[in-house]
Amino acid sequence: MGEKMNPTLEIKNVLIKSANLNGESSLPSILPVLNVQTQKSLKLDEDDEIFFDVGKIRSIYPYKQQDLYDRALNEKEYKAVILENKYLKAMFLPELGGRLWSLFDKVEGRELLYVNDCIRFCNLALCNAWFSGGVEWNIGMIGHNPLTCSPLFAATLKAADGTPILRMYEYERLRNVTYQMDFSLPESSKMLICRMRICNLNDSTIPMYWWSNIAVPETKHSRIIVPAESSYYSYWTTIDKTPLPYRGGKDVTYPVNTECSMDYFYKTFDTKRKYIAAVDKDGYGLVQTSTRRLKGRKLFVWGQGQGGHTWQRFLTDKAGDYSEIQAGLGQTQYECIPMPPLSTWEWVEAYGAISAQPAAAHGDWCDARAEIENKLDEKLSEDWLEEYLISSKKDYVFKKGKVFQNGSGFGALENKRRSLAGERAISQHLDFGEVQSRQKHWLLLLEQGHLPSPSVDEPPASYMVGNHWYDLLNSAHGSEDKNWYAWYHKGVMQISNNRYEQAINSFKKSIEMQPSCWAYYGLAVCRYTLGDNVKSIEYIKLAYKLNPSDISLARDMFRLMNENECYQEIIELYNSMDAALQNDGKLKFYVANSYAHTDQIEKAEKILYENGCLIIPDIREGEMSITNLWLYIEEQKYKKQNKVFDIICHYL
């Protein structure tokens, strides 16, 4: 690799086998959803200092759920950005949360990341849709970036020395922050340089979260090496600690030695360099390092159980197994860190190849760490990273880039609001474009002081959050206002602030103006949250009656009815639905469960085993519904034979 090569940036289209995302739910995200990352209890010591009670959210409102995807794979064209120098070639997917999809070592001719052979969406994120592979950038709240399957703003610019820079950025409206990611491969750099920046736009402290999730191939010889002598680990509903490298007599720095799906959050040293490496049998692999603000390091494994292997297969076509090594702001991923008012947090990450002596990398734990640290220091010193953090801020961080892809229009809308309020624009060097069609109703509220009154047949295009918008909406109409749409949005905002009785009043006023499935749905959510299940089901059935072709309404209706064991009614409603709804995997599950619980086992089994097995494309990570249904069916079959159903014997 002695030849000279100027670093390059290329924008091109690539073909990747992909499922269809199929847009968003028609409903606001106000019904509580399962988030396994927040369902934990603690077994920690007084010096652990984990902000376990900071930043948890009830729902991902104002974002909508991305839960309408399928599983069929077809070649699909995606925009890709290629950064390249003589050492590395990095490919990003700016239309999918800015995912770093590939990092190729040109010297050794080897891929450093786990590159999935397809994009197959599954329900592992707060907005539901998520896909595996590459490096995912997560901001804001526990449970993956709400924009991980959405386009970001993307722009090109150059550093003072001519190095091309890919910039991706967005306005994240739940936390009211901007985040900016500047990527480059300087001519002499053997590592991809990622300069990150988060700006708190609030005049109050907010919970902040960041984790860079790095997928790496998992083989029987893969070892994760990190500067730590102990680790927090998560199993079932508990967070505990273990010394390293052994837990329960097994060396768990090798991912294959962990039996089930598990997180290891390494207790790194404040005074030592931050890094994490994944190396194979020959000591070769990927290393990630950073400046010290990004102090957390983590390993996630799917484990060696049947469930973990099933998820691995569910997420890919034939790409094989992977683990995730991660780097974050906090010590663990079950916390947010308090971010001061109007502050900015910045750090630099670097990704590249590491070639360690195999005997050292797979030997004593202290020797393995020393070997990686020495090789990393030879490649890129910690001092260089810290100096680059300062010098790059003077160089290009505040330069305006040439935008080649737009993100959402919510940053532009926020700038419109600020302009009318006499406030400074957000992150002024970032171009947030123009307000788009999804924000046009809110722009009307800003500029003319009222919302329109669209047809109740149209799903509301978007939702807003924050006191500014609630105050604008509240002042836009009096108690005699006849706008169903304004009262509906007022109710949804009140739900987001846990003001359910007020929301009920707003939804009822909306229905008085004009009945809509959206307001009835809001009433159903209020009653559900307040524990009035009978009224909740009554209202969601009224919502469905007004819009019987809406898959999102049908799913949530069956969810509430199933939780309240309305099995016969589910069967009757399902049989009255059109074919498009009857073919939905989630609705099929609810009716199969209803058949099983009304002693119609054969009908339940027919659905469960149809075409090999029932597929629910968006079944939630950690959800046991299909397993529980199968167990229930088997138990009923045994009872009919006057036999005792012993699950252990049954598996054997």
In a shared domain, residues 551 and 644: no
Neighbours of 219 (CB within 10 A): 15
Rounded-to-10 torsion of CA 86, 84, 300, 323: -70
Say whether both 243 and 315 belong to one domain: yes
What pLDDT is stored for residue 474 in this prediction? 87
> In 3-state terms, what secondary structure has residue 339?
strand
In a domain, 419, yes or no: no
Say yes or no: 341 and 245 in one domain: yes
For residue range 191-243, list pLDDT tens digits in order.
999 999 999 999 999 999 999 999 999 999 999 999 999 999 877 667 788 99
Domain assignment of residue 641, yes or no: yes
Task: Determine the structural domain holding residue 472 and report its residue range.
Answer: 436-564
The confidence score (pLDDT) of residue 57 equals 85
Residues counted in the chain: 652
Residues 512 and 619 occupy one common structural domain: no
Quickly count: other Cβ atoms within 10 Å of residue 493's Cβ: 26
The enclosing domain of 240 has a CATH number of 2.70.98.10
Instruction: Locate 494 and state its tokens.
Output: 């009140």
Number of H helices, E strands in the chain: 18, 28
Q: How high is the pLDDT of residue 40?
A: 57
Please write the tens of the pLDDT for every residue from 478-491. 555 789 999 999 99
- Within a domain: 1: no
CB 372 within 8 A of CB 297: no
The one-letter code for the residue type at 249 is G
426 in a domain, yes or no? no
Residue 426: both structure tokens together: 């957000």
Whole-prediction pTM value? 0.95
Residue 196: inside a domain, yes or no?
A: yes
Please tell me whether residues 85 and 232 are part of one structural domain. yes
Q: Are residues 487 and 537 in the same domain?
A: yes
Alpha carbons 224 and 252: distance in angstroms, whole number:
9
Among 378, 402, 426, residue at a domain's last position: 402
Say how far residue 192 (Cα) sits from the centre of its chain. 23
CATH code (residue 441): 1.25.40.10
pLDDT at 240: 85
Domain shared by 498 and 591, yes or no: no
* Separation between Cα atoms, residue 155 and residue 401, nearest integer Å: 5
* Residue 102 · residue 111 · CB < 8 Å: yes
Within a domain: 326:
yes
- Is residue 425 one of the residues assigned to a domain? no
Judge whether 208 and 336 are in contact, CB under 8 Å.
Answer: yes
Structurally, the chain folds into a number of domains equal to 3
Q: Give the domain-ending residue among 516, 547, 564.
A: 564
For residues 633 and 566, give the distance between their C-alpha atoms in angstroms, rounded to a whole number.
Answer: 18
pLDDT at 44: 67
Whether 175 and 305 map to the same domain: the answer is yes
Which of 157, 125, 153 lies closest to 139, judged by CA? 125
- One domain for residues 66 and 192: yes
- Is residue 538 exposed (0-12), middle (13-18) or buried (19+ Cβ within 10 Å)? middle
Residues of the chain with pLDDT under 50: 37-38, 649-652
pLDDT score of 53? 73
Whether residue 580 sits in one domain with residue 504:
no
396/516 same-domain check: no
The per-residue pLDDT for 41 is 62
* pLDDT attached to residue 348: 98
225 assigned to some structural domain = yes
User: What pLDDT score was predicted for residue 650?
Assistant: 45
Domain co-membership, 604 together with 635:
yes
Distance CA 456, CA 472 (A): 22
